């Protein structure tokens, strides 16, 4: 019952006290929440869930996996295309002692983040206009950005245009091992309608089309499932202590963001979806 009350509080519901002999109340369907794009309320909600400035979960082990895969050490330079409003870049700096630069292809995210974080917000970069971007970054990282588009090849080529020869590139993405009709995948898509469920072949074909030297394709699902659920649990405890200190818009965005995070975890735990890391290196002109 305590767990149900916590779930209800998280999603903005009040449960009436149980009367002896009555059936326990059921939690409402989380699929009523729908997420599309980035709004100020969603950015604030994501920061409450994942840490100020973050738009996705980060942990020391996730940062270590990224740095290890790109052979980054202290003082290495990195352009983080999935930085959100500068949060993950700051965490990479603190946890891995590297020099990250926050960047994004999303004009809407950059615009909203700039209002919250000013000069610390991610820099908006445009394909084939890398001047000034890689002056501070040698490696390039991208995470969880392609599963909401069918134009995967075009998006990867846009990232490819920012690389200079010899620089490593990593992207982590959700790939489907089951058809879109799978229950867990449908539950995810109900919350995030822009989710485009596609098999790993779509990603490998797009990756191959970039012309990068392909180094590794690794399944990091277990790492995600080990690291992310505790982050959400800690956030729930923290936010329960805060009480109803947020606006209605942020509360609704928080409920939706939490529902989406849980739907992703459910899909990964069911085996219908995997989180895969693709690693390549920019080719030199002569080879």
Q: Mean pLDDT across the stretch 166-178? A: 93
pLDDT at 259: 92
pLDDT digits (tens, 9 = 90+) for 193-247: 999 999 999 999 999 988 888 889 999 999 999 999 998 888 776 666 655 556 8
Tell me the whole-structure pTM to 2 decimals.
Answer: 0.81
88/62 Cα distance (integer angstroms): 11
User: Residue 236: is it exposed, middle or buried by C-beta count within 10 angstroms (0-12/13-18/19+)?
Assistant: middle
Q: Which of 45-49, 88-92, 118-122, 150-154 has the lowest mean pLDDT?
A: 88-92
Got the DSSP string for 12-79? Answer: T--PPPPPTTSPPPPPPPGGG----S--HHHHHHHHHHH-TT-SS---HHHHHHHHHHTT--TT-EEE
pLDDT at 200: 95
pLDDT at 79 exceeding the cut of 70: yes
pLDDT at 284: 59
All domains in the chain, ordered by first residue? 42-224+267-281 (3.40.50.150)
pLDDT at 20 exceeding the cut of 80: no
Mean pLDDT of the chain: 78
pLDDT digits (tens, 9 = 90+) for 35-47: 888 888 888 888 8
Report yes or no: 53 and 109 within 8 Å, Cβ to Cβ.
no
Highest mean pLDDT (candidates 69-73, 116-120, 146-150): 146-150
Looking at the DSSP assignment, which residues form a beta bridge with residue 144? Answer: none
């Amino acid at each position: 019952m305590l767990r149900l009350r916590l779930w209800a509080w998280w999603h903005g519901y009040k449960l009436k006290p149980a009367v002896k002999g009555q059936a326990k109340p059921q939690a409402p369907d989380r699929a009523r929440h729908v997420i599309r794009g980035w709004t100020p309320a969603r950015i604030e909600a994501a920061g409450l869930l994942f840490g100020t400035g973050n738009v996705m979960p980060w942990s020391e082990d996730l940062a270590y996996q990224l740095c290890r895969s790109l052979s980054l050490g202290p003082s290495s330079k990195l352009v983080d295309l999935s930085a959100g409003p500068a949060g993950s870049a700051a965490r990479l700096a603190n946890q891995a002692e590297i020099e990250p630069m926050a960047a994004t292809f999303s004009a809407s995210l950059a615009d909203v983040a700039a209002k919250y974080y000013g000069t610390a917000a991610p820099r908006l970069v445009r394909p084939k206009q890398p001047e000034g971007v890689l002056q501070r970054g040698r490696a390039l990282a991208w995470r969880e950005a392609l599963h909401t588009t069918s134009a995967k090849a075009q998006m990867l080529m846009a990232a490819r245009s920012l690389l200079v020869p010899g620089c490593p590139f990593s992207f982590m993405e959700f790939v489907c091992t089951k058809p879109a009709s799978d229950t867990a995948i449908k539950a995810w898509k109900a919350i995030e309608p822009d989710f485009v469920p596609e098999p790993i072949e779509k990603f490998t074909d797009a990756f191959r089309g970039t012309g990068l030297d392909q180094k590794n394709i690794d399944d990091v699902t277990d790492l995600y499932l080990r690291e992310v659920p505790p982050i959400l649990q800690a956030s729930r405890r923290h936010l329960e202590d805060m009480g109803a200190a947020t606006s209605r818009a942020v509360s609704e965005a928080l409920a939706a963001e939490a529902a989406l995070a849980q739907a992703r975890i459910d899909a990964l735990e069911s085996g219908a979806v995997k989180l895969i890391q693709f690693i390549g290196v920019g080719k030199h002109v002569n080879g």
